Amino acid sequence: MADVETQIRETIEGTDVVLFMKGTKDMPQCGFSSRVAGVLNFMGVEFTDINVLANDDIRQGIKDFSDWPTIPQLYVKGEFVGGCDIVTEMTLSGELDKLFEDKGVAYSKEAADKIRAANA
């Protein structure tokens, strides 16, 4: 399992935005993963998707690594952000914009504003 932890750590530390999800950003395999990938895609965020369904060791390993029981899991610049509910709340409150700005991650502020307007 140490190899899996090393692989996860290297992915998180070596990639600006990583989403551990069920499926891929182009073909999510669950609603929660679809929602987070959809937000990131709509906002124009470049991110790496890790399909946990393709590897059971990664699927369990990421839960152990973050001490978070569910997938998807979003990491930005090495920092665990959260799952679907947290990312949704952060998007609607503007906190996700601030996080991206603070971490130097490119995103579309206009798209983020559209999400908020549609959910007001």
Over its C-alpha atoms, the chain yields an Rg (Å, rounded) of: 14
What number of other Cβ atoms are within 10 A of residue 15's Cβ? Answer: 17
Place of tokens 């290297």: 10
Q: Is 84 assigned a ligand-binding role in the annotation?
A: no
Burial class (CB in 10 A: 0-12, 13-18, 19+), 16: middle
Whole-angstrom distance, CA of residue 73 vs CA of residue 55? 15
CA 74 remoteness from chain centre: 3
Where is the binding site, in residues? 30
Where is the binding site for [2Fe-2S] cluster, in residues? 30
